[in-house]
Amino acid sequence: MPTTTVTVGSAVGLHARPAAIIAEAAEELGSEVFLAVPGEEPVEADSALLIMTLGAGKGATIEVSGEDAAAVEAIAALVARDLDA
């Protein structure tokens, strides 16, 4: 399963707005993608509520994984961006 590690770029972390943007993008990809704080259970990237349960603030490390490498890279790029700007 393709996995990449990224640093949260949003100033507010993976809070409401960034989580919603990521979840919407993940849903549109049509491939399961998961987000996890290293050492913790992964959550589905197409659920804003589950993303927010990670409690990941700016600068936190997040593992992005899934079956489709392109989908993993697309979601990883969103996690790394400041989506609250």
Give me the active site residues, please: 15
β-bridge partners, 5: 63
The rounded distance, in Å, linking the Cα atoms of 32 and 67 is 7
